[in-house]
Amino acid sequence: MDLRETAAEKRFRDEVRGFVQSKLPHDIRDKVLNFQSLEKNDIVRWHRILNAQGWGAPAWPKEYGGTGWTPLQRHIFDEECFLGGAPRYYSHVNMIGPVLQRFGTAAQKARFLPKIITMEEWWCQGYSEPGAGSDLASLNTRAERSGDKYIVNGQKIWTSYAHYADWMFCLVRTSATGKPQEGISFLLIDMKTPGITVRPIVGLNGGGDLNEVFFDNVEVPVGNLVHEENKGWSVAKYLLGFERAGHSFVGLCKLLLRRLKETAAAEKKHGKPLIDDPCFRHRIAQVEMNVLAHEWTLLRVLSLESARQAPGPVFSVLKVRGSELLQELSELLMECAGPYALPYLPAALSAGWQGELPCPLRVHMLAAHYFDRRSMTIRGGTTEVQKNIIAGMILGL
């Protein structure tokens, strides 16, 4: 295949780049590029700027208010947003939106889709449990039918941004007979319902985007069931396809590669820029080649998507390699910081923090980024599980 962009695709890239440069608020850009914590309003504010442009749901078809873009256009859009320092936390748009379009009732589509695309309502994902992370089918959160309601009891964990969420799309067990996958249902749960408790989990980097969520006799209308009772595993797999498709991280890898070169040029070793050290420069060159090869793999997958051909296990390959590259880049950035990376102050995650730092903020926050990237080979499907998926699909297991 020809990996070069067409003239039309180059014009599209220029349009997106110009829009991000002119419309992204500077305070949000500074937070993103300094690896500082974003508030809910930061993400919502930028999303609404995009939505006003008609770009609020890049992966949605036009009939639901989306862009109708090709897979390559969506890739270009995501890459330019990453490189421009824009937030990219729209899992509820890219995940629950397509699920409702595929499996939702007419009433569910009319109720939820308009407020998803405008981000009037924020969603979180209720999948993982303390005993059901990688082995998702072993989940134990139960939903028992009682008239026109389900009564939900159980616990979810590692729930990103649950403290912001208005709604959760949640996997629950509605039957204990047969194979574990056959007794799972997919519910939409209002997070304001009595009986729901959200507790924060402080991450290794000091951030607080993760949570655990407890359900104590939570009443959920039967009308919030998506698809059929005990058929939620099909919905879950469909959603995971969208999640893993977004986990190639090519745009973020390119941003970090640029940041790595800038930091290595600014930091000194024996009075000379670190990038002038032959050994370190070789490592930068090696990771740049790996990022380029990773991008080419993604472009081949996008070509298959455009031709409506099944990409097979490549999404899992992209997830594994992308998360490894993010960790490698974050490690090299930490080495650029040297001893200044050691006295890490999590309080500096918050924008507007006025305390003293032993080095510039752009260097100090490399530690937070390094700690956060340790999770990349776990979240969204662990590397070990992804390799099992790859082997199973290739060998027909």
Catalytic residue from among 243, 288, 305, 331: 243
The residues, any chain, with a CB within 8 Å of residue 200's CB and separated by 6 or more, are: 163, 208, 210, 211
Q: What is the DSSP string of 182-214?
A: GGEEEEEEETTSTTEEEEEE--TTS---EEEEE
- Quote the CA–CA distance of 108 and 300 in Å, as a whole number: 35
Q: Where are the alpha helices (DSSP H) in the chain?
A: 7-23, 26-33, 40-52, 71-83, 91, 97-103, 106-117, 232-245, 250-266, 278-306, 314-337, 361-364, 366-373, 383-395
3-state secondary structure of 173: strand
- Quote the CA–CA distance of 291 and 259 in Å, as a whole number: 14
Cβ pair 326, 373 in contact under 8 A: yes
Cβ pair 298, 75 in contact under 8 A: yes
Q: How far is CA 100 from CA 50, 56, 156, 187, 381, in A?
A: 22, 16, 22, 11, 22
Residue 5 is a catalytic residue: no
Distance of CA 89 to the CA centre of its chain: 6
CB hemisphere CA count around 15 (13 angstroms): 12
Q: How far is CA 384 from CA 123, 377, 388, in A?
A: 28, 9, 6
By annotation, the residues acting in catalysis are: 243
